[in-house]
Amino acid sequence: MTLEAGMVAPGGTVGILGAGQLGRMLALAAAEFGLRIHIFAPESGPAFDVATATTIAAYEDEAALEAFARAVDVVTYEFENVPGHTADVLARHAAVRPGPRALAVTQDRLHEKDFVTGLGIPAAPYVTVDDLPGLRQALAAVGLPAVLKTRRFGYDGKGQVLLRDDTDTEAAWRAVGAVPCILEGFVPFEREVSVVAARSVDGAFAAYDLCANTHRDHILHRTLVPAGVSPRLEQQAIEMARWIAEALDYVGVLAVEMFLGADSGPELVVNEIAPRVHNSGHWTIEGARTSQFAQHIRAVCGWPLGLPERLGRIEMENLIGSDIDGWRQILQEPGACLHLYGKRQARPGRKMGHVTRVFPEGGTAS
């Protein structure tokens, strides 16, 4: 049997950088297709429990990276902060999907903003900040309130400070670690939504229905689908995600977080691009014909995409820290689908699992 170049056959091995819950759920989806999974991470984590093979090494360990890349048929990752040099070393020996351009653009907020606005897609106003005097100048340009964000390594609200009238500018600069930042104008938003979508090697695109997300302490708390926005706006959001995926020549699942404007100004503002499976897409495991994890595996293996069709009205809730203590109540709830990630310690703010409820379309809320 001849395969197209870059197509992985069943029995092949998918290499995943990162051993967290996203890597774990990717590994479980890959296993359903008869694929083997090799996890590469600096330390053990939830994905190790279900992996066929594991490598513990630093992302800078070129010998380990080369051995890993040679042992797998394709490399993908569960997080956007893969060092660029790591991706380059891997790409010499194996296909890396999504490709290096997606990483380069999304792991630096400045590059991401430039990229998004360069496509003509609305984003919050922003200014580069390299030092304290630069921050003062930026504040004069952007106004208050504003959000100071590190250019790199931010997630779940980490590396961010909200500046108000009474905020000490110097303290804020120290709080983010005095590293290269951007200052963003604060966007008053009515709702936060995300598009989770996939693009295949041959350019096919498939988006899930728009997700409405609420946060607690900067961590995703709940996702509802449908999002309750107009079909026109939903279509517009999905089209923006498609432009982004095409401009990145993207392969795999990506998520685009957006704000729905509350006041005048643009109706939709892109907040962030995640070049990976995304927490707001966890509902697709039971709630869609093809889960985001299976979809990502299909895409990075060079396979056709599956149907993103939604199977009901969705409510997904994260289990953060001690929320996991409610596991027995959730198991007793008819139809509630409990997912736990096998993490040993339930530290505050730690994502321990999630629960998905799928209701008949048009049925009553829980």
Binding window for a second copy (CB under 8 A); candidates: 47-55, 109-117, 121-129, 146-154 = 47-55
d(CA 301, CA 30): 10
Per CB under 8 A, the list member of 93, 191, 222, 343 interacting with a second copy is: 343
- Residue 56 as a binder of a second copy (CB under 8 A): the answer is no
Cβ at position 165, least distance to a second copy in Å: 45
Give the one residue of 1, 5, 63, 365 binding a second copy; rule: CB under 8 A: 1
Tell me: does residue 204 bind a second copy (CB under 8 A): no
How many residues at the interface with a second copy, by CB under 8 A?
Answer: 44
Around 306, how many Cα atoms within 13 Å sit in the side-chain half-sphere? 21
Buried b (16+ CB within 10 A) or exposed e, 266-280: ebbbbbbbbbbbbbb
Query: With respect to a second copy, which residue has the nearer C-beta, 109 or 298?
Result: 298
Q: How far apart are CA 4 and CA 155, in angstroms?
A: 37
87 belongs to the binding site for a second copy (CB under 8 A): no
The neighbour count for residue 2, using CB atoms within 10 Å, is 5
Helix or strand holding residue 64 (H, E): helix 62-71
**118 alpha-carbon distance from chain centroid:** 21
Q: How far is the CB of 291 from a second copy (least distance, A)?
A: 10
Handedness of CA 65, 71, 76, 79 (dihedral sign): negative
Point out which span in 21-29, 61-69, 81-89, 97-105 binds a second copy (CB under 8 A): 21-29
Q: Distance between CA 278 and CA 25 in Å, rounded?
A: 11
309 lines the binding site for a second copy (CB under 8 A): yes
Does the protein bind a second copy through residue 179 (CB under 8 A)?
no
Per the rule left: phi > 0, alpha: psi between -120 and 50, beta: everything else, 6 is: left
Query: Looking at beta carbons only, is 206 or 248 nearer to a second copy?
Result: 206
By CB under 8 A, name the one of 17, 20, 24, 90 that touches a second copy.
Answer: 24
Q: Is position 289 an interface residue for a second copy (rule: CB under 8 A)?
A: yes
Alpha-carbon span 27 to 228, nearest angstrom: 32
Q: Does 331 bind a second copy (CB under 8 A)?
A: yes
Stretch that binds a second copy, among 179-187, 189-197, 215-223, 325-333 (CB under 8 A): 325-333
Binding-site member from 303, 317, 318, 355 for a second copy (CB under 8 A): 303
Q: Is 39 in the site for a second copy (CB under 8 A)?
A: no
Distances (CA, A) of 197 to 120, 308, 315: 20, 9, 19
Task: Tell me the CA distances in angstroms from 331 to 298, 344, 352, 364, one per residue in order.
Answer: 31, 20, 15, 21
Residue environment code for 193-222, b if the CB has 16+ CB neighbours within 10 A, otherwise e: bbbbbbbbbeeeebbbbbbbbeeeeebbee
User: Least CB distance from residue 342 to a second copy, whole Å?
Assistant: 4
Which residues bind to a second copy, rule: CB under 8 A? 1, 10-11, 24, 27-28, 31-37, 49-50, 52, 286, 289, 298, 303-304, 306-307, 309, 311, 324-325, 327-328, 331-332, 334-335, 337-344, 352-353, 358
